[in-house]
Amino acid sequence: MKYDVIIVGAGPSGIFTALELVRQKSDKKILLIEKGRSIDKRYCPKEKTKECVSCKPYCHITTGFSGAGAFSDGKLSLSYEVGGDLPNLIGSDKAQEFIEYTDKIYLEFGADTRVEGIENTEEVKEIRRKAIEAGLKLVDCPIRHLGTEKAQEIYLKIQNYLLDSGVEIKFDTIVKDLIIEEGEIKGVIIADSKTKNNEEVASSNKVVLAAGRKGADWLKDMCVKHNINHRAGTVDIGVRVEIRNEVMERVNNVLYESKLIGYPAPFRDKVRTFCQNPGGFVSQENYDNNLAIVNGHSYKEKKSNNTNLAILSSHNFAEPFNQPIEYGKQVAELVNMLGNGKILVQRYGDILYGKRTWQKELYQSNVKPTLPDAVAGDITAAIPYRPMMNILNFINAMNTVVPGFASRETLLYGPEIKFYSNKINIDTNFETNIKGIHCLGDSSGWTRGLMMASVMGVLMGKSIVENN
């Protein structure tokens, strides 16, 4: 099997690489390889069982066409200031230009025309004033919310468009290894994702690695094995906070998603809010080795009584330890251990009182958990002191911006870990030191989110057309 371009991973960056090649009327033979299923066959049994059944060989929430973030919620951040470090590589103006270009593509495939967070100027000023008073920075970022169910419809249209345009997509397929000769890519070795058997070789001098957050570990292994230049990046360790909509009503109505950044005492590490879901639902994602990670999403139509958002504490490691993904995994495994393999939840007030939360106490609270199989317990027994103190002090600061945020009944779910830690050394065409290998998206360490990963794919597609 010989191809002009092989794309590994059908998340946003991989999808938009193929999509831009098609839109540019490229005649290149394209292979898109995806470990999971097509989007129309992705289904989480938890909708019926109300309890995670640990699907094998992979979790349908994290794996399959459209990737993890797109399937979970579908929020497009329309500012270059949000979504990772890509602007540092290509420039802020170019990043913003291609956010607008990519946004129009989403609109063509049916995204909602409404943009959140661009109105109520005086109210935004008041929220910013409160943020400054609390020592936090409010980042202006318009949001286009696709919604979990609408995102699936949009990505199904894109999937079918690619197939109809002649893009070959191999589902339920993994890349076991890269074929590199004399510093240049020659192809990949693929196999069935369920059995790991039926190996085949797909040949190409142009391979785009867009493995997503789920594939960060695999990409690191490939980098080590084949001497692809990379460096340790940042690991984000945090919790998902859930509170009543009434507490968040003003911020939800004015901004939809409040992106706030702070550097709380005593450590002054960067702490930020991420992925806010008004009327949303807390969810679970399963990674390799049965690792249960908390996330959140929101639908366009179906709403809960709660708002959830992540609070993430950023940490860097250099010497003598430089394995941030492994560190994050160890933290997650410890939290999972305390929850007996489930997501752990604890009330904020119980943490301050130095006690665990009991299941009966959750039933007595105003805030009812939207993750039905979360286990009440003590997340402070597992999350390390430094990130835990950062999170608690940030919550206290948030109470100035949103009175009631630091309520005794506010729920903290754990673990929420972001596995995009290793940063691949790439040039402005996203090419590594191995000729013909390009790295994109969250697994590359350069993006954090749906829109910026999509933008990276668009730029990759344009680069392939322009330079070949």
Domain ranges of the chain: 5-111+147-231+423-466, 121-141+233-418
What share of the chain in percent tops pLDDT 90?
78
My answer on whether omega of the bond before 45 falls inside 30° of 0, hence cis, is: no
In whole angstroms, give the CA distance from residue 252 to residue 247.
Answer: 9
Burial of 270 (0-12, 13-18, 19+ CB in 10 A): middle
pLDDT at 162 over 90: yes
Residue with tokens 């004015």: 254
Q: What pLDDT digit, counting tens, does each position of 414-450 carry?
A: 999 987 658 999 999 999 999 999 999 999 999 988 9
395 contacts: CB under 8 Å, gap ≥ 6: 241, 311, 348, 405, 406, 410
pLDDT digits (tens, 9 = 90+) for 12-49: 999 999 999 999 999 999 999 999 999 999 887 877 77
Q: What is the pTM of this model?
A: 0.88
191: left (phi over 0), alpha (psi -120 to 50) or beta: beta
Q: In angstroms, rounded to a whole number, what is the distance separating the alpha carbons of residues 266 and 275?
A: 25
As a whole number of angstroms, the distance between CA 178 and CA 192 comes to 16
β-partners of residue 177 are 189
Strands (E) located in 251-304: 259-262, 271-277, 281-287, 291-297
What DSSP letter does each residue of 2-67 carry, written as one string? B-SEEEE--SHHHHHHHHHHHHTT----EEEE-SS--GGG---THHHHSS----SSS-TTTSSTTH
Confidence of residue 140 (pLDDT cuts 50, 70, 90): confident
Per-residue confidence (pLDDT) for residue 289, from 0 to 100: 75
**Tens digits of residue pLDDT in 351-387:** 999 999 999 999 899 999 999 999 999 999 999 999 9
CATH assignment of 5-111+147-231+423-466, among 1.10.760.10, 1.10.10.10, 3.50.50.60, 3.40.190.10: 3.50.50.60
Q: What is the pLDDT of residues 54-112, one digit of tens each?
A: 788 788 778 899 987 666 678 899 999 999 999 999 999 999 999 999 999 999 999 99
Can you give the pLDDT at residue 12?
96
Taking all residues of the chain, what is their mean pLDDT, rounded to a whole number?
93
